[in-house]
Amino acid sequence: MTKATTTTPAEDFAGQIGPWLRARLPGAPPVEIGDVTEPAQGFSSRTVLFTARWRTGAKAVERGLVARIQRDVAVPMLADVFHQYRVMRAIAAHSSVKVPHIDFAESDPAILGAPFFLMDRIDGRVPSDFPSYHAQGWLADLPTAERTRLWWNGIAEMARLHRIDWRCFAFLADGTDTPPDAMFYLDRFVGHWFDWARDGRSFPVISEALAYLKAHAPAALQSGLVWNDARLGNTMYAADGVAVVALFDFEVATLGPPEVDLAHWVYLDEVFSENFGVPRIDGLPRGREAVAGFERIYGRPMPQFSYYMAVAALKILILSVRNYGNDKQTAAPAALPDFLVNRLAHYLDEFKAGR
């Protein structure tokens, strides 16, 4: 009797991606795929790390690559890997912002079971979401002053992202010919996503907050790309320092005021500490200290920043209402989480009070 042979997921991936990549290289050289690993992370796409080796004439080529593969589940904020591909290509074309280089993309799901793209693998370290970087890990082990420098380095790189002319992302503009403001962001992104996420259910707390924020949207002093997932966990730092080496995860990027991203960055620090019942580590700015630093880096005032903190809190609350059916086990709760509801109310109250 012949014993049945089986392949591992890594072997399956190598057998699929190798021939595909070979067909896209000049001269179609044989491609060896190795070192395949798939980290247990990511809500909206699978991440597979691997090394590709081939020869170009007499020269041996070795490239560390990352495959980002669309998940076959309902994904947060309607994330899409080809959306990310287009955004990152536009960032690279119009700036020197540190994003991974992308060469290859495939929309045909027949290759890996879903659309995907390949980007260069960058060496560095990323603060952990699970377990929270406030609880343990290399960031928590840094001296306080180094943590502060790291945090501000992330903001400085994000400011470079926000300086790209919003018209460089015309495919995100949804036909508008005026600089996208907070109303554009709430209407074209948050409202659209909430309608999908609630799936016909009623959430008066969210609906009322969204209506209020739309009715009181401040004028935008600057418009540009909104990363939409701006946080330490999507920022890669040097393996032996605090310099930023890459920003990533642009699956849900849109347009609007930079304050949307800055508030999200601050708010996610709260979520990954207080919401998890973890003491907040020292050295990560918040409140007036954070806003003063933002104003210095961006070179302009940022009045009504509490408005954007309320927007960030609203967005994360919406994230909680949908069951995404992925390996994060983010099942929709029977009731909205108290912490997220209370933080939304807190920042709405701050805005109403003019703080």
Are residues 143 and 112 part of one domain? no
Contact indicator for 124, 246 with CB cutoff of 8 Å: yes
Is residue 201 included in any domain, yes or no? yes
Question: What is the band of 9 on the pLDDT scale with cuts at 50, 70, 90?
Answer: confident
The mean of the pLDDT values for the chain is 91
Q: Which of 120, 155, 187 is the last residue of a domain?
A: 120
Are residues 70 and 23 part of one domain? yes
H/E stretch holding 159 = helix 144-162
pLDDT in tens, 117-140: 999 999 999 999 889 999 999 999
pLDDT at res. 35: 96
Are residues 153 and 95 part of one domain? no
pLDDT at res. 331: 46
Please give the share of the chain, as a percent, with pLDDT higher than 90: 80
Are residues 315 and 203 part of one domain? yes
SS3 of residue 248 by DSSP: coil
Is residue 52 included in any domain, yes or no? yes
Is residue 269 included in any domain, yes or no? yes
H/E stretch holding 53 = strand 45-56
Instruction: State phi, psi for 206 to the nearest 5 degrees.
Output: -75, -45
Is residue 101 included in any domain, yes or no? yes
Please give the share of the chain, as a percent, with pLDDT higher than 70: 91
Mean per-residue pLDDT, 94-120:
94
Structural domain total, the chain:
2
Pair of tokens at residue 341:
């509801």
Is residue 129 included in any domain, yes or no? no
Tell me the C-alpha distance between 273 and 262, whole Å: 18
Is residue 127 included in any domain, yes or no? no
Question: What is the band of 15 on the pLDDT scale with cuts at 50, 70, 90?
Answer: very high
Are residues 339 and 234 part of one domain? yes
Pair of tokens at residue 40:
């247990």
Are residues 88 and 222 part of one domain? no
Q: Using only C-alpha atoms, what is the Rg of the chain?
A: 21
- What CATH number is given to the structural domain containing 214? 3.90.1200.10
Are residues 100 and 31 part of one domain? yes
Question: What is the band of 326 on the pLDDT scale with cuts at 50, 70, 90?
Answer: very low
Tell me the C-alpha distance between 322 and 330, whole Å: 8
Are residues 15 and 99 part of one domain? yes
What domain range is 29 assigned to? Answer: 9-120
Question: What is the band of 327 on the pLDDT scale with cuts at 50, 70, 90?
Answer: very low
Are residues 229 and 176 part of one domain? yes
Q: pLDDT at residue 95 above 60?
A: yes
- What CATH number is given to the structural domain containing 29? 3.30.200.20
Q: Which of 92, 120, 148 is the last residue of a domain?
A: 120
Are residues 310 and 261 part of one domain? yes
Are residues 174 and 91 part of one domain? no
Query: Quick check: pTM over 0.85?
Result: yes
In terms of DSSP H, where are the helices of 222-284? Answer: 259-271
pLDDT at res. 7: 73
Residues whose CB falls within 8 Å of the CB of residue 263, separated by 6 or more in sequence, listed in order: 305, 308, 309, 311, 312
Residue 128 DSSP one-character state: -
Are residues 116 and 142 part of one domain? no
Is residue 29 included in any domain, yes or no? yes
Q: Which of 85, 120, 155 is the last residue of a domain?
A: 120
